[in-house]
Amino acid sequence: MGYPMAGHLARHFTTAVWNRTPEVAARHAAEHGTRQAASIPDAVGADIVFSCVPTSREVNLLVDAALPALRPGSLWVDCTSGDPTMARATATRLAERGVTYLDAPVSGGRPGAESGTLSVMVGGDAAALERARPAIEAFSSRIVHVGAVGAGHMVKSVNNALMAVNLWAASEGVLALERGGVDLGAAMEVINASSGRSFATESLLAAGLGPDELQPWFKLALLHKDTAIASDVARNAGQPAPFLSLIVDMLGAARAGLGGEPDYRAIPRALRAWQKGILGRS
């Protein structure tokens, strides 16, 4: 995700890029005219620092390495789908250095990243968001300020958990229908024209049910992590949330059943394997 996002940034701003794999940053420099940073400290002396990594744990490692090199008065915009509790701790660490943290996870997937039309949900100080807005607009067509530090991560985790629930439940339903004699295509056509439809049924279910190998878009392991964050958001809120709880456990079971490092769209395949396992068919 970060690769095309940084490409959009570079069209409007002087941009340095650091990546765990130096070859990636070198390629980015060649393609987008960015400067390849030699190290994390070399990358973070900017007015605005963007981070986009798998989890808040990696953000912490970045901050560890970056802290001495950060410029007081600068902004750190974290586009990771992260943990709100860890984000608050990160914000405190950065504030001691005079740096303002915004959590700004994105939605829209690779297509949105490439076209620069991501949705961004931002938690943190509103004035800091105004300073960061021109840069965020380089890759976003919708920026929504959703609350204090951590609120962006909270909203993102809930969004992803809803997608996971919607996809899981739809998989249960259409696989049951298929086994009951309903043509899968017809079942999906009806549901997508009716009140049971969702982004998951419209955009994810068919690929998940089909025979083709799934390109690695988004690791199921990361979606699993997001659902656990969403469930914690509910628990901390005193909100009984049985579906947000159950999806955590079911994604765990699906990961175990699928093996390897599956893409999240493989969820229907985990459920189909359960059906076939019970019925004793290959």
Query: Residue 63 in contact with residue 93, Cβ under 8 Å?
Result: yes
CB of 41 to a second copy, least distance (A): 30
Q: Which of 68, 72, 211, 238 binds a second copy (CB under 8 A)?
A: 238
Please count the CA atoms within 13 angstroms of the CA of 278 that sit on its side-chain side: 7
The only residue of 29, 67, 207, 273 in contact with a second copy, by rule CB under 8 A: 273
156 in catalytic set: yes
Q: How many other C-beta atoms lie within 10 A of the C-beta of residue 253?
A: 12
Query: Within positions 71 to 110, which residues make up the interface with a second copy, using CB under 8 A?
Result: 84, 107-109
Give, as ranges, the residues between 246 and 265 that touch a second copy (CB under 8 A): 246-250, 252-253, 255-257, 259
Residues 101-160 interacting with a second copy (rule: CB under 8 A): 107-109, 119, 121, 142, 144-148, 151, 154-155, 158-160
H or E, element range at 248: helix 242-258
Q: What sign does the dihedral 219-224-229-230 (CA atoms) show?
A: positive
Backbone angles phi, psi at 83, to 5 degrees: -100, 125
Q: What is the DSSP string of 230-243?
A: HHHHHHHTT---HH
- Pairing mode, if any, of strands 106-107 and 118-123? antiparallel
Nearer to a second copy, 64 or 183 (CB): 183
Determine which residue in the list 38, 199, 217, 222 makes contact with a second copy, applying CB under 8 A.
199
Q: Which stretch binds a second copy (CB under 8 A): 8-16, 48-56, 71-79, 165-173?
A: 165-173
Q: What is the DSSP letter of 265?
A: G
- Of the candidates 193, 212, 215, 282, which one interacts with a second copy according to CB under 8 A? 193
User: How many chain residues interact with a second copy (CB under 8 A)?
Assistant: 88
Segment lying near a second copy (by CB under 8 A), choices 49-57, 59-67, 94-102, 236-244: 236-244
From the number of C-beta atoms within 10 Å of its C-beta (0-12, 13-18, 19+), residue 64 rates as exposed
Q: Is 54 in the site for a second copy (CB under 8 A)?
A: no
**Residue 234 interacting with a second copy (CB under 8 A):** yes
Both tokens assigned to 250: 């079911």
Q: What is the C-alpha separation between 240 and 45, in angstroms, rounded?
A: 44
183 binds a second copy (CB under 8 A): yes
